[in-house]
Chain A
């Protein structure tokens, strides 16, 4: 069965610093996708970044990058130059080709300090 683990319930980072949010996953399917979502206090779920299991390069989207270590089954999100608006819950998620289900981790609450 698919499983996503996010071991950091909460994180603090100083404005303009970089921060890494951890995510590990478990699946027996060789083909899968990994995703990160942001949920600000307003409640909407915002898709940030995607990494395919066969992608050779780490995904990047603006200030977001995904540190993909396939052998370790980890897919950490790196946010560079943190901004106050980055304060939110961040969810790691996975989808494999077998179930096509979409499994979310418990989330990490990031607080950016001025």
Chain B
């Protein structure tokens, strides 16, 4: 079975540029989460969706960040404009139901110079 697929694996961009991270959840999963991981702050929840609907986006840092889930098999996290402090590993994860484990993608390592 294919797991959660994230692209790209690595992204290096200059400050001010737009960055789009992509995620394909496991087929049939109805929850999708976006996390950011840094050494300083650990794993931070940015936003999560249930049946393609955003449920809690209180973790989204500011208006520069936006996330969409146009259908059950695809989600994007966009940063516009990007800043050096956005450098982190961004994880997408999905689950079946509201009580089970999350299955993580391999993450996207974002570096903003």
Given the known inter-chain contacts A43-B89, A99-B56, A101-B56, please indicate yes or no for A35 contacting B101, CB distance below 8 A: yes
Kindly list chain A residues whose C-beta atoms are within 8 Å of the C-beta of B106. 43-44
Residues A44 and B100 in contact, CB atoms below 8 Å apart: no
B42 at the interface (CB under 8 A from A): yes
B45 at the interface (CB under 8 A from A): yes
Selected from B42, B48, B107, the residue in CB contact (under 8 A) with A101 is B48
Say what secondary structure dominates the interface of chain B. Answer: strand
Residues A95 and B104 in contact, CB atoms below 8 Å apart: no
Residues A47 and B56 in contact, CB atoms below 8 Å apart: no
* Closest Cβ neighbor of B109 among chain A residues: A43
* Closest Cβ neighbor of B97 among chain A residues: A100
Selected from B45, B91, B98, B102, the residue in CB contact (under 8 A) with A47 is B102
Kindly list chain A residues whose C-beta atoms are within 8 Å of the C-beta of B31. 100
Selected from B43, B56, B91, B98, the residue in CB contact (under 8 A) with A97 is B98
Residues A44 and B104 in contact, CB atoms below 8 Å apart: yes
Count chain A residues whose beta carbon lies closer than 8 angstroms to a beta carbon of B.
Answer: 23
Residues A102 and B56 in contact, CB atoms below 8 Å apart: no
Kindly list chain B residues whose C-beta atoms are within 8 Å of the C-beta of A31. 99
Kindly list chain A residues whose C-beta atoms are within 8 Å of the C-beta of B102. 35, 45, 47, 93, 102
**80-114 of chain A: CB within 8 A of chain B:** 91, 93, 95, 97, 99-104, 106-107
Q: Using CB atoms and an 8 Å cutoff, list the residues of chain A in contact with chain B.
A: 31-33, 35, 37, 43-45, 47, 50, 52, 91, 93, 95, 97, 99-104, 106-107
Q: Name 13 extra pairs, CB < 8 A, besides A93-B102, A107-B43.
A: A31-B99, A35-B102, A43-B106, A43-B109, A52-B99, A95-B100, A97-B98, A101-B56, A102-B95, A102-B102, A103-B45, A104-B42, A106-B42
Query: What would be 19 A-B contacts, judged by CB atoms less than 8 Å apart?
Result: A33-B99, A35-B101, A35-B102, A43-B89, A43-B107, A43-B109, A44-B104, A44-B106, A45-B91, A45-B102, A47-B102, A50-B100, A95-B98, A95-B100, A100-B31, A100-B98, A100-B99, A106-B42, A107-B43
